[in-house]
Structure 1
Amino acid sequence: MSFNNIEFVIEDGVAILTLNRPDSLNSFNAEMHSEVREALKETKKNPEVRALVITGNGRGFCAGQDLSDRNVAPGAEAPNLGESIEKNYNPMIRSIRALEMPVICAVNGVAAGAGANIALACDIVFAARSAKFIQAFCKIGLIPDSGGTWTLSHTVGQARAMALSMLGDRITAEQAEQWGMIWKAVDDEAVKETAIATAKQLATQPTKGLALIKRAIQASATNTLDEQLDLERDLQTIAGRTEDYREGVAAFMEKREPSFKGQ
């Protein structure tokens, strides 16, 4: 697949989607949205892919929306930002969250606005120590989108989510790790390598089971305990019927390494 604004490769069971507009800190324009949609579709339908890595080229991960695509001239009619969100950002976040495989993010630099919230929508997030997370929406009179108001509230709590959203303060990778926003801060030169190595390791694991883990933990944000217990029962029923479960038990009993196929 050939793209102008992203790079997309598949190796060792891992799809690697790299945002590639470094001169604009990988901010999104209409063409980039279209290309990311295509890459996510390919990731979903390709049976060889069992994990996805999302990262960026250059000194930034993603600065969110390219505002030159939305410049409002004096006296001009204001754009319908809700329409843009419904067409582009919401489907992207839903696709990332719904992928039945681990999604690993390597935040290689600044992640601002929607860029920060795309990263936080992923399942496991590694960030370079120099990276910064910024809810920059308040600086231009907007609210956090791309799931930001939901993700922040569920990861760092309402008080911190409110302050981050209203003040637009920069949060370092170390602070994000301490607050539980991300999994781990790592050295700059190792962030992409670490994310890809983690994804390749996960691609050898029982993919169906990992997808069910993802589904269960996501549901816990809104379920009651009784609802979550019922969901665990139902998902465990599904997991227990997979070939990977059969292989995992056989390998344990035979004292050997399992060979999972993601089935």
Structure 2
Amino acid sequence: MSTEDTVLYEVRDHVATITLNRPDRRNALTYQAYDALEAAFRRVVADPEARCVIVTGADPAFCSGDDVREIMAGPKAFAATTAPVVRHRPTPAAMAALECDKPVIAAINGAAVGWGMELALYADIRIASDRARFAELFIKRGLVCDVGGFYRLPQIVGPAKAAELLFSGEVIDAAEALRIGLVTEVTPHEALMDRARAMAAKIAANPPLALRYMKEGLRRATYGDPREIGAWAIETIRRLMQTEDHKEGVAAFLEKREPAFKGR
């Protein structure tokens, strides 16, 4: 599958739609897919026709996170050096989503877990299908979350609920996501994209420059600058990927068994 096929991009009536398009792998992210997602968000910023963005996944999932076989168990997975860790920049796809200067709506049509939940958190508004499921699964792989879980989740659901989700890796359904404020509404699955497009059309009908400044003001007032926490998260993930517990978490997932963590 080419980079262009991995993540689809289209603009209609000033609404850009970014669609993760690996349905056979539940839209799990490969290195290629991360690059394509970053490129799609950068394209939105440069596209004068795009005034609002919908990000979604090809059914049956929104995004199931990293493709474990490539990213966590592939040849690059455990390649980090044991030399002193240098500061790394935040995940490029995450920063592209966070730096998008146009309103972003996540239309969450199924599982949004691991980095898929992170992607949902980078949106300004989240609408869920009644089939949606959410989980910050990083703890189950012996890792920490990306910038979304640290930077946005506590602001959206509160620090205590964020801690519960991050520490447990619990999977929650759409109804619970609505109850805790993770999403603004839940729709029947078949109505999700129509609802997202209707909301996007309403937003896109407003003055484009004012929309951009409105988003920037909201970001500054609510979230601040994600770069420092994002860099720390990536540095920590690189360290944790060298641990036995991370390797055990990956092996247990691939072998469909319960992991046995040892704290090393």
| Superposition TM-score tier, normalisation by shorter sequence | 0.7 to 0.9
Q: Which sections of structure 1, spanning at least 5 residues, go unmatched?
A: 224-263
- Alpha-carbon deviation of 1:130? 1.5
> Displaced runs of 4+ in structure 1, greater than 3 A?
none
| 1:148-172 Cα shifts (integer Å, max 9, x gaps) | 1221111111211111111111122
The normalised TM-score by structure 1 is 0.76
Please tell me the residue identity of whatever aligns with 1:190.
A
What is the correspondence of 1:149-188 to structure 2 with a 5 Å cutoff? 149-188=150-189
The alpha-carbon distance between structure 1 residues 163 and 9, as it changes in their structure 2 partners (threshold 3 A), is same
Question: Counterpart of 1:138 in 2: which secondary structure?
Answer: helix
1:1-263 paired onto structure 2 within 5 Å: 3-72=4-73, 78-80=78-80, 90-221=91-222
Deviations 1:177-200 (A, max 9, x none): 221112211111111121122112
* Cα distance change, pair 207–80 in 1 and its aligned pair in 2 (3 A): farther
Q: Partners in 2 of 1:58 and 1:171 — Cα distance?
A: 19
Question: For residues 6 and 222 of structure 2, what CA distance do their matches in structure 1 show?
Answer: 34
What's the TM-score, normalizing by structure 2? 0.76
SS in structure 1 opposite 2:182? coil
Query: Counterpart amino acid of 1:120?
Result: L
* Equivalent position amino acid for 2:219 in 1: Q
Shift of the 71–47 alpha-carbon distance from structure 1 to 2, 3 Å rule, reads closer
* Larger of the two Rg values belongs to structure: 1
Aligned to 2:252: none
Secondary structure (helix, strand or coil) at the match of 1:39 reads: helix
What displacement does 1:54 show?
0.3
Unmatched 5+ stretches in structure 2: 225-264
Partner of 1:235: none
- Contact between 1:128 and 1:185, CA under 8 Å: does it hold in 2? yes
Question: In the alignment, is the contact (CA less than 8 A) between 2:113 and 2:136 conserved in 1?
Answer: yes
Letter paired with 2:133: K
RMSD of aligned C-alpha atoms? 2.6
**1:46–1:138 CA distance, 2 compared to 1 (3 A):** same
| Number of the residue aligned with 1:244 | none
Deviation string, structure 1 residues 62-84 (Cα, Å, up to 9, x no partner) = 011111113448xx982449x9x
SS of aligned partner of 1:65 = coil
Paired residues, number:
219
How far is 1:132 from its partner?
0.7
Say whether the 8 Å CA contact 1:120–1:182 is kept in structure 2.
no
Q: Offset of 1:115 from its aligned partner?
A: 0.4
Distance 1:86 1:49, change over 3 A: farther
Other structure's SS at 2:5 match: coil
Whether contact under 8 Å (1:114, 1:146) holds in the other structure is: no
Q: Which one-letter code corresponds to 2:97 in the other structure?
A: I
Residue 234 (structure 2) aligns with = none
Q: Compute the displacement of 1:222 (Å).
A: 5.7
Distance 1:177 1:71, change over 3 A: closer
Identity of aligned residues (%): 29
> Residue type of the partner of 1:194?
R
* Counterpart residue type for residue 185 of structure 1: V
* SS of equivalent to 2:112: strand
- Post-superposition offset of 1:41: 2.2
Q: SS at 1:111's partner residue? A: strand
Structure 1 counterpart SS, 2:50: coil
Per-residue deviation, 1:86 = 5.5
